[in-house]
Amino acid sequence: MNVNTENSVSIMEANRNFSCIARMVDEKGSVVILKNNSPRYLLIEYNQVLREQFVSDEDILALSKRLIEKNREAYEVLAK
């Protein structure tokens, strides 16, 4: 998930104008809410969370290959 930190607002602004912040999410995809001038919360659409839960088979295969290569020695010991 890509987060644009340029879309940031203070927590006070988010509290005062939540409908405006929700429109920003609709337009820009996400909003970072700052607390004490530090990124603290991320507001995104619920559907985006659902899309992010599913990983493609290719991504899983690539991760598996990378882990096998990284830990090949341990896997060979366990295989004995």
pLDDT in tens, 1-27: 555 667 899 999 999 999 999 999 999
What DSSP letter does each residue of 56-79 carry, written as one string?
Answer: -HHHHHHHHHHHHHHTHHHHHHHH
Spatial distance between the Cα atoms of 75 and 27, rounded to a whole number of angstroms: 48
Q: What pLDDT, on the 0 to 100 scale, is given for residue 4? A: 61
Range of the domain at 27: 8-79
Spatial distance between the Cα atoms of 12 and 35, rounded to a whole number of angstroms: 9
CA angle 22, 4, 49 (to 5 degrees): 60
7: nearest Cα among 36, 35, 39: 39
Flag whether 50 is in a domain.
yes
Tally the domains of the chain: 1
Tokens of 72: 């090949």
The average pLDDT across 44-61 equals 80
Q: Is the pTM of this model over 0.85?
A: no
What CATH number is given to the structural domain containing 68? 3.40.1620.10
Flag whether 33 is in a domain.
yes
Residue 56 clears pLDDT 80, i.e. is over it: no
